[in-house]
């Protein structure tokens, strides 16, 4: 297991210049997610049209893994409704949990498969998902407590 497996180029690119970061002009949903393990906080704003994500923007201080995941999730979540995002998260959780090598529907998010070897860092990648899920559910605040150990 080498460091470059987790911190591979695509992950570093997304974390250095994350896509879908900033603020939306007219968000319909928003939430704040915290990772109590490390103190990181991520905010998300959404514009939801007909139950589907039309626009998404994250912001906040977070590690490279959380930022890269948020950036990739911004792409993957486009046009999905809450069910679609829940399915995406379930597939992602299987890949980073080591139960599935990769899933073609995840796109760039497959780059985080090396998290299978870093159980203590999985919460970092699940933070953007939990925050997005909270926003769609109309929950203002969430944490990754109780997610994967």
Partner 1 sequence: MSTQASRGDIAAFDVARIRAGFPILSRQVHGKPLVYFDNANTSQKPIEVIDAVDRFYRETNANVARAVHSLGEAATSAYEGARDKIARFINAPTRDEVIFTSGTTQAMNTVAYSYALPRLQPGDEILVTTMEHHANIVPWQLVAARTGAKVIAAPITQSGELIVEEFIARLNPRVKLAGVTHVSNVLGTINPIRELAKACRARGIPLLVDGSQAAPHLAIDVQALGCDFYALTGHKLYGPTGTGVLWARKELLAEMPPFFGGGEMIRTVSFDGTTFADAPHKFEAGTPNIAGFVGLGAAIDYVNRIGLDTIGAIEGELAAYMSDALKSVPGLRLFGEAKDKAAVFSFLIDGVHAHDLATLLDHEGVAVRSGHHCAHPLMQFYGVPATARASLAFYNTREEIDAFIAAIAKVRKLLA
Nearest Cα to 123, choosing from 35, 5, 18, 43?
A: 35
Identify which range of 17-25, 37-45, 98-106, 125-133 contacts partner 1 by CB under 8 A.
Answer: 37-45
Minimum Å gap between C-beta 12 and partner 1 is 7
Instruction: Rule CB under 8 A: say whether 40 interacts with partner 1.
Output: yes
Give Cα separations from 31 to 27, 65, 70, 103 (angstroms): 11, 20, 14, 27
Q: How far apart are CA 32 and CA 42, in angstroms?
A: 6
Which residues 73-132 are close enough to bind partner 1 by CB under 8 A?
118, 121, 124
Assign 38 to helix, strand or coil.
coil
Contacting partner 1 (CB under 8 A), which of 24, 37, 93, 100?
A: 37
Minimum Å gap between C-beta 101 and partner 1 is 22
Buried b (16+ CB within 10 A) or exposed e, 27-41: bebbbbbbbeebebb
Cβ closest to partner 1, residue 61 vs residue 83: 61
**Binding positions for partner 1, rule: CB under 8 A:** 1-3, 6-7, 12, 37-41, 61-65, 118, 121, 124
């Amino acid at each position: 297991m080498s460091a470059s497996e987790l911190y591979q180029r695509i992950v570093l690119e997304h974390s250095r210049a994350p896509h879908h970061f900033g603020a939306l002009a007219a968000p319909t949903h928003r939430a704040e997610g915290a990772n109590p393990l490390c103190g990181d906080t991520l905010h998300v704003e959404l514009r939801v049209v007909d139950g589907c994500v039309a626009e998404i923007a994250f912001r906040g201080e977070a590690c490279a893994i959380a930022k890269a995941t948020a950036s990739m999730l911004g792409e993957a979540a486009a046009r999905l409704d809450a069910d679609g995002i829940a399915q995406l998260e379930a597939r992602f959780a299987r890949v980073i949990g080591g139960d599935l090598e990769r899933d073609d529907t995840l796109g760039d998010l497959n780059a985080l498969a090396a998290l299978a070897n870093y159980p203590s860092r999985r919460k970092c990648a699940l933070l953007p998902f939990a925050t997005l899920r909270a926003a769609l559910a109309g929950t203002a605040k969430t944490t990754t407590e109780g997610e994967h150990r």
